[in-house]
Amino acid sequence: MTGKRILLIVGGGIAAYKSLDLVRRLRERGMSVRAVLTQAGAEFVTPLSLASLTGQEVHQELFSLTAEARMGHIELSRDADLVVIAPATADLLAKAAQGLANDLASTLLLATDKRVLAAPSMNLRMWLHPATRRNVETLRGDGMLFVGPGDGAMACGEFGPGRMSEPLEIVAAVEAALKGDTTIPLPGAKPRPLAGRRVIVTSGPTHEPIDPVRYIANRSSGKQGHAIAEAAAQAGAEVVLVSGPVTVPDPAGVKTVHVETAREMLQAVEAALPADVYVGAAAVADWRVGSEVVEKLKKGPSGPPSLGLVENPDILATVARHAKRPGLVVGFAAETQKVIDHAQAKLMRKACDLIVANDVSPATGVMGGDANTVHLVSKAGVETWPTLPKPEVAQKLIAHLAALIHAKEGGA
C-alpha cells in the first residue's frame, strides 16, 4: 500500500485519541495521511498533534482563503485514494446521509469522488436509535464502507455497541478497500469499458532536422491522435500520449510526452510499456538525414547540397514484436492511392492486429482537417466507416478496441 493517500476526517468524540495512533499505523505502511479536524474533534485532539504525526497541515475551516488559494475543498476531496472518518459520529453520519454541507468535513464527503470508510463511535443508544440506523442503511446503499463499531465499555459508563474499532482493525479495513477501485463514477456517467487498462497513443508528425533551422516533416495536425487519447481516457484508461510537434492542446486526463524526432518517439513509447493497447496514430517520418549538420546550410556555387537519407526506426513494427508487446497493437495507414491494398500489406508486414487506413490525398482535406473517413483492416476483413468528425472517429474506434479486448478475454 506504499504511496496510497488517505484523507482522514476526525470527528468529535473521546475516541478521537485513537485517530492519532491510526495515523501512525497508516504511515508505517507507507501511506500518506492528510487530516481534517472538525470543530468538535478539536475538543479532543489538537491540530498540532495531528500535524506532527501526518507531517502535513491540518485542515479545519471551509472558508480559508489561504487553503483555497493552494488547495480548495474540491481538490482536497479528490486528492486521496480513500476517505476515512474516524471517529464517525452520529452527527457526521447524519450530515452525510442527508447531503448536508455546512462545514469542511461534510462538504468534503459530498464533493469527493472516492470511496469513504467510516469507523462509527457513539453512545450505544445513539447507535441503536432508528434515525442512526436509517442513516447507516442509506449510506451503505450509497456505497459507504463501515468498520465496526464493536461492543465495549463507553466513556459515559454504559456498555454495548458503539465503541470505535481499534486502529489496527481500521488499518485492515483500509487495506481491504484499497485493493479495489476506490473511484466513484458520476451517477449516470457513461460506461468506462477501458477502466483499469493502460493505453499508449502516438500522435502528430515528427520533425527530423536537416540543419539547426530546417527539418523534414509532414502535414499531420495531431487532431486524430489527440482525439483518440482523450476518448481512451474518457473510457477509463490510463493514457500516455506521445506527441510530436503540434499546435493542438494536450487532452485532459492524459499524460502527454512531447517529442520531436522518430527516435525520441520510439524511446518514449518503449519507456511507457507495458500497456494493454498501443495506437500508432502518429505520422512518423520515414527518413532522416544521415549526418546532422551543426551549422545552417548555405547556398553556394556548387548548387543544392546532397542530403544522404537513412531510414528512421519503425515504431509500429518494433512495438508489435516487442518483448512487452501490448495485447492489442493498432497502426494507421495514411495513403494517397490503393488505400485498402496498402493497408492489408502493412498489416502483415508490421505484425499488428489492426490497421486504421485513410485516404490523405489533398482533395480529401483529411491532413489538418476536422473530419476523417477510415477503413478498419484486420485479418477478419475490412470495415468502412462513413465520414465523421475526428472526435467521433476516436470514440467509435475506442469502443471498437474495448469490444475486441473483452471478446478476446472472453474467448480465452
Same domain, 317 and 401: yes
Confidence of residue 188 (pLDDT cuts 50, 70, 90): low
Same domain, 108 and 223: no
Confidence of residue 66 (pLDDT cuts 50, 70, 90): low
Mean local confidence (pLDDT), 226-250? 94
- Domain total in the chain: 2
The amino acid present at 4, given as its one-letter code, is K
Return the residue matching grid coordinates 497541515: 57
pLDDT of residue 182: 85
| Residue 270: pLDDT over 70 | yes
Same domain, 115 and 237: no
d(CA 343, CA 356): 8
Omega before residue 251 within 30° of 0, cis: no
CA trace torsion 158, 164, 169, 172 (10° rounding): 160
Same domain, 135 and 39: yes
Position 51 in a domain: yes
pLDDT of residue 306: 81
pLDDT tens figures, 303-319: 888 888 999 999 999 99
CATH number of domain containing 310: 3.40.50.10300
Do 320 and 307 form a contact (C-beta atoms < 8 A)?
A: no
Position 185 in a domain: no
Among 53-57, 196-200, 369-373, 386-390, which is the least confidently predicted range?
369-373
More confident residue, 26 or 335: 26
pLDDT tens figures, 203-237: 999 999 998 989 999 889 999 999 999 999 989 99
Same domain, 262 and 318: yes
Position 261 in a domain: yes
Same domain, 111 and 236: no
Confidence of residue 155 (pLDDT cuts 50, 70, 90): low
Mean local confidence (pLDDT), 131-137? 93
Q: Whole-structure pTM over 0.85, yes or no?
A: no
pLDDT of residue 65: 44
Position 262 in a domain: yes
Q: Which of 125, 147, 178 is the last residue of a domain?
A: 178
CATH number of domain containing 155: 3.40.50.1950
pLDDT of residue 62: 77
Q: Out of 131, 153, 155, 156, which one is annotated catalytic?
A: 156
Position 257 in a domain: yes
d(CA 166, CA 22): 8
Residue 156 designated active-site: yes
Position 187 in a domain: no
| Residue 285: pLDDT over 90 | yes
pLDDT tens figures, 32-48: 999 999 999 999 999 99
Same domain, 92 and 142: yes
Mean local confidence (pLDDT), 258-283? 97
Position 295 in a domain: no
Same domain, 21 and 67: yes
d(CA 218, CA 214): 13
Measured from the Cβ of residue 99, the count of other Cβ atoms closer than 10 Å reads: 11
| Residue 179: pLDDT over 90 | no
What domain range includes position 152?
5-178
Position 340 in a domain: yes
The three-state (H, E, C) secondary structure of the chain, written as one string: CCCCEEEEEECCCCCHHHHHHHHHHHHHCCCEEEEEECCCHHHCCCHHHHHHHHCCCCECCCCCHHHHHHCCHHHHHHCCCEEEEEEECHHHHHHHHHCCCCCHHHHHHHHCCECEEEEECCCHHHHHCHHHHHHHHHHHHCCCEECCCEEEECCCCCEEEEECCCHHHHHHHHHHHHCCCCECCCCCCCCCCCCCCEEEEEECECCEEEECCEEECCCCCCHHHHHHHHHHHHCCCEEEEEECCCCCCCCCCCEEEECCCHHHHHHHHHHHCCCCEEEECCECCCEEECCCCCCCCCCCCCCCCCCCEEECCCHHHHHHCCCCCCCEEEEEEEECCCHHHHHHHHHHHHCCCEEEEEECCHHHCCCCCCEECEEEEECCEEEECCCEEHHHHHHHHHHHHHHHHHHHHHHC
